[in-house]
A = this chain, B = another copy of it.
Amino acid sequence: MKKFFITKNRRLRSTPFASRLEKQGLKSYTIYNHMFLPTAFNSLEEDYFHLREHVQIWDVSVQRAIEISGKDSSKLVQLMTCRDLSKSKAGVCYYSPLVDSNGNLINDPLIYKLNENKWRICIADSDVILFAKGISSVQNMNVDIIEAKIDTLAVQGPKSLKLMEKVFGEEIKELKFFKFDFYEFDGIKFLISRSGYSKQSGYEIHVENIDSGLKLYDYFFKIGEELNVKPGSPNLIERIEGGLLSYGNDMDIGDNPFECGFDKYINLESDIMFLGKEKLKKIKQKGIKRKLMGVKIEAKEIDLTEEIKMFNNENKEIGQLRSAGFSPRFKKIVGIAMVQKGFWATSQKFKINIDGNYFTGEICSLPIL
C-alpha cells in the first residue's frame, strides 16, 4: 500500500513523549481521539514477538480521560453504560460498553471509580465528552465534566511485573487485575491500574505531572535494560489473536453490544437506569442476527482499509472482515469479522477477495488460539 505523510498541528495533539519516541526509532503514527498514537517501531512482526516475550513501554496518551465529578456523577455514568455499576467500588476499573438510546455502541471505555462522586472514563476513539455533556445539560445534573490533563503510559508484556517491581517496589505485586492504586516514583504519586490493551499482562500509569512522567519514562529504559525493555504500541496481530476489540475497527455506532459479544457487561435484569435499556431488552428477546467472530485466512498479506465481504460456497454473503493482519505464529492472516447467523460454526469455510485474488478462510472463536 502506498504510504502518506501526516503533519502535526494544534488540532491533532502531540504527546509529551513524542521527542523520546521519535529518537527511539518510531516509524509511523495513527490519529486517535484527535491525538497522535505511535504505531510501529520495528516491523509489526518484530514488535509482536518482542511483546509476547519481554516488556514494552507504550505511549497510549490517546486513551483520553473524561472525568465526571459531582453529586449526580454516578447517575450520569450509569445512564451511559449497560453495565450495572450500582455495586461498583472505588479502586476498581470497569470495562463498560457505552450505548445510545437505540442500544448501539458509542464507545467501550475502562471506567475508573475514584470515589462515590468522581469517575474517570478512559475512552476509545469517539468524543464521549459530548455525549456526557448532551445528557447532563438537559437534565440540569449537578456534575462537572472535563477532559483531564492525563497522559497514559502502558507497561505490557510477560516481564511487566518484574519491571514495575524494580521501579515501584514490591507492593505493586499485590495489585490485582482491573484494580488500581497510587504508587510513588521520584516523590510523585501515580495512579496505576493492572490493565492494558494486550493479553500479555501489564499495567497502565496515569501521568498527571509531565516532568515526573518523562523522568519515569527514561527510568524504565535505564533500569529495564536487562529485561530487554523496548518502546512499543498496541499490536494489531496480538490484539486480534487475543480477541481485544477495537472501537471504530471491529464495531461502531451501527452495532449493538450483543453483536460484539459483550453479554456479560449487559445488565438488563437489575433496576438501574441507562439509555437504550428497553431497546436492548427487545434485541435480546428477538435474538441477534450477526456477531463478531474470529477468522483465519490462507493468505500472507492484507492491508485492510474498509470492511471486506466474505462469501460461502453458494456465493451468499455471510459476513464482513473488519480487522486483519498476518500472524507470524499461525503463518496465515487472522482477523475479526461480523458474521451472519447460521454461519457461526467454527468449521464454517468462506472465500474472500483480497486485492483481486480469492482466498479461503475459516470462522473461529475469539480469542484465536
Given contacts A128-B130, A130-B128, contact A10 B138 (CB under 8 A): no
Q: How far is the CA of A248 from the CA of B28 in the complex (A)?
A: 22
21 A/B residue pairs, CB under 8 Å, sorted by A: A4-B26, A4-B27, A5-B5, A5-B28, A9-B30, A10-B304, A10-B323, A11-B249, A12-B30, A12-B31, A14-B306, A34-B126, A100-B133, A100-B137, A101-B137, A126-B130, A127-B131, A129-B253, A132-B134, A133-B134, A134-B134
**From residue A47, how far is it (CB to closest CB) to chain B in Å?**
14
User: In the complex, which of the residues B6, B106, B132, B306 contacts A29, with contact meaning CB atoms closer than 8 Å?
Assistant: B6
Tell me whether B9 and A31 are in contact (CB under 8 A).
Answer: no
Tell me whether A248 and B34 are in contact (CB under 8 A).
Answer: yes
A87 within 8 Å of B (CB atoms): no
A72 within 8 Å of B (CB atoms): no
A369 within 8 Å of B (CB atoms): no
Q: How far is the CA of A251 from the CA of B28 in the complex (A)?
A: 27
**Chain B residues whose CB sits within 8 angstroms of the CB of A6 once the complex forms:** 3-6, 28-31
A43 within 8 Å of B (CB atoms): no
A214 within 8 Å of B (CB atoms): no
A307 within 8 Å of B (CB atoms): yes
**Chain B residues whose CB sits within 8 angstroms of the CB of A126 once the complex forms:** 34, 127, 130
Q: How far is the CA of A5 from the CA of B41 in the complex (A)?
A: 12
Q: Which of A79, A127, A249, A253 has the most CB of B within 10 A?
A: A127
**Chain B residues whose CB sits within 8 angstroms of the CB of A194 once the complex forms:** none
**Chain B residues whose CB sits within 8 angstroms of the CB of A303 once the complex forms:** 7-8
**From residue A97, how far is it (CB to closest CB) to chain B in Å?**
14
Given contacts A130-B128, A131-B130, A275-B138, contact A1 B11 (CB under 8 A): no
Q: How far is the CA of A130 from the CA of B99 in the complex (A)?
A: 10
Closest to A321 in B: B10
A135 within 8 Å of B (CB atoms): yes
Closest to A144 in B: B102
Contact residues on A (Cβ < 8 Å of other chain), bracket:
35 or more
Q: How far is the CA of A7 from the CA of B7 in the complex (A)?
A: 13
Given contacts A14-B306, A131-B131, A138-B135, contact A34 B125 (CB under 8 A): yes
**From residue A4, how far is it (CB to closest CB) to chain B in Å?**
5
A270 within 8 Å of B (CB atoms): no
In the complex, per-residue mask of A309-330: 1 if CB is within 8 Å of any chain B CB, else 0: 0000000000000110000000
User: In the complex, which of the residues B27, B127, B132, B248 contacts A10, with contact meaning CB atoms closer than 8 Å?
Assistant: B248
**Chain B residues whose CB sits within 8 angstroms of the CB of A132 once the complex forms:** 134
Question: In residues 283-318 of chain A, which contact B (Cβ within 8 Å)?
Answer: 303-307
A139 within 8 Å of B (CB atoms): yes
**Chain B residues whose CB sits within 8 angstroms of the CB of A101 once the complex forms:** 133, 136-137
Closest to A248 in B: B11
Tell me whether A133 and B133 are in contact (CB under 8 A).
Answer: no
Q: How far is the CA of A127 from the CA of B147 in the complex (A)?
A: 15
Closest to A106 in B: B130
Tell me whether B11 and A125 are in contact (CB under 8 A).
Answer: yes
Tell me whether B246 and A11 are in contact (CB under 8 A).
Answer: yes
Tell me whether A1 and B8 are in contact (CB under 8 A).
Answer: yes
A22 within 8 Å of B (CB atoms): yes
In the complex, per-residue mask of A131-167: 1 if CB is within 8 Å of any chain B CB, else 0: 1111111110000000100000000000000000000
